[in-house]
Amino acid sequence: VIVVLIVISAVVFGLTLKSAFESTFLSRCEKFDQYDCKKVWDAFQQAYVNKDPCKVPVEAYDPLIAAAPFKPQCNRMMFWSKTKDVVHGFTEKRDCFVTLEDTLLGSVLDGLTWCGKEGSKDTNTTGCPGWSDCENNTVRSFWIRASAAFADVACGNVTAMLNGSINTPFNPTSIFASVEVPRFIASRVKNLNVVMVIQKNNISNCTDPSLKNLRQSIDTGITFSCKDVSESRIQECGSKPQIACRTCW
């Protein structure tokens, strides 16, 4: 009898015990109202569970995006490439802009690693392929799909923070260049305003040739601007609520 009870409780326990990953996902999700987090979790899992982690195409996340769609936030949307820390240092303190990480899906999965395995219903958080180990990897396909959906709803004045401390601030292989910019359409997006983050040892600025490529690749009808802004000015605006968002730079 005892053995049977142990077996039964072990099975029940195994079925109900949430992994640390699922707990993180659900607790981050529950900070957002209006979403059924269990549904979002199920839609998320179906994208990669029981699959080779290098064979998860971008489309595998379509049902997840449909379960937690992005809402357009005209004139407030912020994109970035290689400036994640500066951008989030700013957006955490001031409610001026919305990044993908401020949305349900972006915030729930930010900084996490996950993948499945053929023949298993588990979510692994270790031993998953790295960003460039294989093209269709679980994590990369998610960020491509989510970035595409976020860019699809971009409207009005769109801001992007690029990094003046690297050789090619607008890099064709980045998600910003390859996924987001091509989805800005003139019927929705009025301007693309680049903020070039300038640190002490910057090696490029708004005159960089890669910015010419950006200007040329945006949809005709979207106006383009670029402004060199020091990192300290961005931090100052982050810490001084008396500075209006539109006068930050």
Total number of residues that touch ligand N1C (CB under 6 A): 17
Give the one residue of 48, 58, 64, 81 binding ligand N1C; rule: CB under 6 A. Answer: 81
Stretch that binds ligand N1C, among 64-72, 142-150, 186-194, 234-242 (CB under 6 A): 142-150
CB contact at 8 A, 84 and 91: no
Distances (CA, A) of 53 to 59, 66, 120, 138, 143: 14, 22, 12, 5, 15
184 binds ligand N1C (CB under 6 A): no
174 binds ligand N1C (CB under 6 A): yes
Catalytic pick from 74, 96, 134, 206? 74
CB contact at 8 A, 139 and 128: yes
111 Rama class: left (phi>0) / alpha (psi -120 to 50) / beta: left
Do strands 156-163 and 78-81 pair parallel, antiparallel, or not at all (unpaired)?
parallel
- Angle 84-93/231-239 helices, nearest 10 degrees? 20
Q: Is 226 part of the annotated catalytic residue set?
A: no
Give the one residue of 100, 115, 154, 198 binding ligand N1C; rule: CB under 6 A. Answer: 100
Please say which residue, 22 or 110, places its beta carbon nearer to ligand N1C. Answer: 110
CB contact at 8 A, 181 and 216: no
Stretch that binds ligand N1C, among 17-25, 44-52, 81-89, 232-240 (CB under 6 A): 81-89
Q: What is the 3-state secondary structure (H, E, C) of 44-66?
A: HHCCCCCCCCCECCHHHHHHHHH
Catalytic pick from 29, 155, 237, 248? 155
168 binds ligand N1C (CB under 6 A): no
Please say which residue, 10 or 112, places its beta carbon nearer to ligand N1C. Answer: 112
106 binds ligand N1C (CB under 6 A): yes
180 binds ligand N1C (CB under 6 A): yes
Residues 6+ apart with CB under 8 A from 167: 203, 204
25 binds ligand N1C (CB under 6 A): no
175 binds ligand N1C (CB under 6 A): yes
Binding site for ligand N1C (CB under 6 A): 79-82, 84, 100-101, 106, 110, 131, 143, 147, 150, 174-176, 180
Catalytic residue list: 74, 155
